[in-house]
Structures are given as C-alpha cells and as structure tokens.
Amino acid sequence: MNRRTPSEQAVARPGWVRAAVTVLAGLVAMGVVAALGLWAAGAADLPDGAFPRVVAATVVTAVGGSIELSGDVGSLAESRAGLTATPLSVTLVGALVVGAGFLWPLRHRVVTTVAEPAWWAARIAVLWLLGLLGLALCARQTFAIPLGEGTLGDLGDLFGVEPRMGFAANVPLTLALGLLWLAVVLLLALLVSRAAPLPARLLRFQEPVRPAAYAMIVLLLSSVAVGACVALVVAATQGHPAETVAVMLLGLPNVVWVALTIGMGATWDGRVQGPFRLPLPPGADRALRTPDGATVDLGTLTDFDGRYWWLLVAAAVLLLMTAFVLAACSPARTRAWQLAVRMALALAVTVLMICLLGRVSAYYGLSLLGIGDLGGHLSGVLLLRPQVWTALGLALLWGLVTGLLGGLSARRLRRAGEAPRPGPGP
C-alpha cells in the first residue's frame, strides 16, 4: 500500500497555522512599509494619536479597500472631499509576501489537483478577511481643520465654526475588494511560479500563459528596481531625502510604472491645484497647474528637461529583456510569431493594469457662508488619468516588435549552445 510519510502529508495539507502565518506576514509587511513611508512623509505628527489609524487606512487602500472622507462643518459651512489612489509600494510588498507564503507548501509537489490549492487558498481567504475586518474597523479618524488667518478665519471665530474632516473605511466594500485582491494575487502566484505545479485541468494553459505571466512580473519588478536605484541617487544628490524615501515606500511603482508607459509613448491627462504635487519635474508640475489641466507625455517632459528621452531608452531595453525572458522560458518549439503574439497580449494586459491602478483622483474644499479658499490651503485638486486606448494600442505594437526580436535572439542563442553533431563515419 502506498502511504505518505508525515512530511509529505504536511506538504500536501497545509493547515490553519501556516495560513495564519502567511496572512500575518503579509499584513505586517504592508503595515511596516506603510508606517515607514508615512513617517518619512511627516504623518507621525498627526494630532489625537491618529498615526496608527492612518497606517491602517493606507494598508486598506493598498489591497483595494475603500476609504470614504467626511466632514462636519456645521450649518454655516460646506465641505467636499474625495480620494482615489493606491499606494502601490505597499501593495507590491503585500502581494510578494502573501504569494510566497501561498506557494511555499506547494513547492515540492510534482502533481496536484484543483481541490488542494483551492482548499489551501480558502483557509488563507478566511483568515485574510478577519485581518482585513480588523484593519477596516481601525481605519477611521476625525481631524480639526484650522481656518487660518484672513476672512475665513475671522468668520469662523465670529460664528464659532470649527470644521472637522475625517475618514472611515467602507467595511463591506473593503472586504469584497480585499477578497478580490487576494484571489488575483494567489492566481498570479500560481501562474507565475515555476516550482509549483498546475492542476491537471489547467495544464493546457501552462505553455502559453505561464512564461508570459512570469515575463511580465520580471518587467514590473525590474522597472521598480531601476526606479529605486534612481531614487536613491536623487535622494543622495538632489536633497529632500525624507520626501524621496516617502515616495519610495508609498508610491514608487505608481511613478515607475507610469513612467514606463510614458516611455512607450502613452499619454496621461493631469490637473493640479492647491498644495497637491505630483512627483514630476517642476516645469511639468507648473504646466499642470492650469484651470483645464494639461497632458503628460514624452514630449511634454522633454520640453522641460531633455534627459527624459531616457525614458524611451529604458522602456525599449526593459521590453527587449522581457521578450527574451519570455522566449527563454518558452519551449524551444515555440515559433517566433507565437512569442510575438503572447508578448503583445501580456503587455497589453499589464499596461491596462497600470492604467487602472496608476490613476489618481484627489480633491477637497471648504467654504463658509459661500466664501471659499480656492487655491489656498483649504482646497485642492489632483487628477492623473491615462488615455487608455492609446496606451493599449502602443502596448500591442511594442509587444509584437519586441516579442519577435526576443524570439529570434533566443533561437540564435539556443543554436549557438547546441553541441556539434558528429560527422559521418569513414
């Protein structure tokens, strides 16, 4: 009778303890990165001990959760506020840690069924929802807003108005979106991993999907690594190290992945008013501070600083490297045109993901007796949105060209590495 050893059973049936370790490690990693980034941004000085709650809110938004802003300004005043942004540095760290924890028990398996990883993922999902529920309940706080000097301050003192703004997580929506985020992360981890086996029913997707998914992850992580090196150089030579570290720990992928699409030729529409600021060159930031906004593309950036043509070079190098990785991970029998099509489709999906996650929308405003503070510290607007269809078309074109070149170069290297065939005997 074929019986499994205890160690094989432990690998085959990861339990609740391992699931708890996976979830806890992911949440703690995200919390640490968010806390360090917010601390570098100066959020540790928030009043009323709000820092831990802001950290919780940051983690909630990193996994797709919803944070709603609210205001209490009395009957004589009016407020409005909204925020849509994803701290992708925190998201990336959480995805890597949770994905690695999910794959760890599967790494020694030769074959598996659909039920085994499904039950393992279900255990993680149950504990993930409990952890996310705790974070969502903690992610709420209210702040007093000083009216400052001037007309608004005088009116506030006269009528005894003390505006308060706050935030709170939408718990049901946060749980639903957080569960969707987890499902996407676990599915991607299973598709990308070259050590964990796919279930027999999914083996037909292994050849066309797994190398392409792995290559896209290499592209995203490589671009983040390059961006981190550039950010460290900027922090060391340009000053403002705390601000640069805050961007790295909270939104480095937001900047780098948008820059990647701009290097490919994509266009983003932006608008900035008030104290908000995009991590862009000063000239581009000034160009966006117009009533109707402006566009951010390769031409706009190079008008202010010709060195931004390097974005085109960096995009080309990264995409060629990605195409070569795709070809090297694909079976040798795969044709060059097949690699080009797979590269194009995978890159289009990746760019679509960047367009969805990289957009930013933030605004707030306060008026008292109809008198607002437009352009001052009591109002602001920040918008950054992609021209999606143009970006997807460029991604398909870049994918076809680089996929074909990567396939041809990989084929030449394979031929160069082949042992010479023995000649005919005498």
Q: What is the pLDDT of residues 126-138, one digit of tens each?
A: 999 999 999 999 9
What does the pLDDT average to over 276-294? 66
Question: Quick one: which of 218, 176, 174, 212 has its CA closest to 65?
Answer: 174
pLDDT of 82 > 80? The answer is no
pLDDT at res. 266: 93
Percent of the chain surpassing pLDDT 70: 75
pLDDT at res. 384: 84
Judged by phi (left if over 0) then psi (alpha if -120 to 50, else beta), residue 160 lies in left
> What number of other Cβ atoms are within 10 A of residue 23's Cβ?
24
Confidence bin at 273 (pLDDT 50/70/90): confident
Task: Enter the pTM of the model.
Answer: 0.84
pLDDT at res. 101: 92
pLDDT of 1 > 50? The answer is no
| DSSP-assigned letter for residue 423 | P
pLDDT at res. 34: 93
pLDDT of 154 > 60? The answer is no
Task: Report the chain's mean pLDDT, rounded to a whole number.
Answer: 79
Are 152 and 378 in contact by the 8 Å Cβ rule? The answer is yes
- Assigned token pair, 171: 């718990």
Confidence bin at 282 (pLDDT 50/70/90): low
pLDDT digits (tens, 9 = 90+) for 23-45: 999 999 999 999 999 898 888 87
Enumerate long-range contacts of 280-287, CB under 8 Å, 24 or more apart.
281/305, 281/308
**HSE on the CB side for 176, CA within 13 Å?**
5
pLDDT at res. 276: 63
- Assigned token pair, 23: 């979830």
> Is 392 or 332 the better-scoring residue by pLDDT?
392
CA distance 68 to 167: 6
Are 362 and 276 in contact by the 8 Å Cβ rule? The answer is yes
Helices and strands (DSSP H and E) totals, the chain: 14, 9
pLDDT at res. 5: 45
What does the pLDDT average to over 60-71? 82
Q: What letters, b where the CB count within 10 A reaches 16 and e where it falls short, cover 124-161?
A: bbebbbebbeebbebbbbeeebebeeeebeebbeeeeb
What does the pLDDT average to over 180-209? 83
What does the pLDDT average to over 94-109? 87
Q: What letters, b where the CB count within 10 A reaches 16 and e where it falls short, cover 343-374?
A: bbbbbbebbeebbebbbbebbbbbbbeeeebe
Percent of the chain as helix, strand, coil, to the nearest 5: 65, 10, 25
Map tokens 């690699």 to a residue: 339
State the DSSP string of 239-280.
S-HHHHHHHHHHHHHHHHHHHHHHHTT--EEEEEETT---SS
State the DSSP string of 91-146.
HHHHHHHHHHHHHGGGTT-S---SHHHHHHHHHHHHHHHHHHHHHHHH-EEEEE--
pLDDT digits (tens, 9 = 90+) for 209-242: 889 999 999 999 999 999 999 888 888 887 778 8
CA distance 92 to 63: 10
Confidence bin at 243 (pLDDT 50/70/90): confident
What does the pLDDT average to over 279-294? 66
What does the pLDDT average to over 368-397? 71
pLDDT of 7 > 80? The answer is no
Are 252 and 88 in contact by the 8 Å Cβ rule? The answer is yes
Are 72 and 163 in contact by the 8 Å Cβ rule? The answer is yes
pLDDT of 400 > 90? The answer is yes
pLDDT of 150 > 70? The answer is no
pLDDT of 316 > 80? The answer is yes
CA distance 41 to 43: 6
Are 217 and 349 in contact by the 8 Å Cβ rule? The answer is no
Question: Residue 404 carries which side chain, given as an amino acid letter?
Answer: L
Taking only Cα atoms into account, the Rg of the chain, rounded to an integer number of angstroms, comes to 25
What does the pLDDT average to over 186-211? 81
Confidence bin at 312 (pLDDT 50/70/90): very high
pLDDT of 283 > 80? The answer is no
What does the pLDDT average to over 361-376? 49
80 sits in which H/E element? strand 77-84
Sign of CA dihedral 176, 203, 190, 224: negative
Query: What is the longest distance spanned by two Cα atoms in the chain?
Result: 110
CA distance 320 to 410: 11
- Which residues does 108 contact at the CB level (< 8 Å), separation at least 6? 11
Confidence bin at 414 (pLDDT 50/70/90): low
Confidence bin at 367 (pLDDT 50/70/90): very low
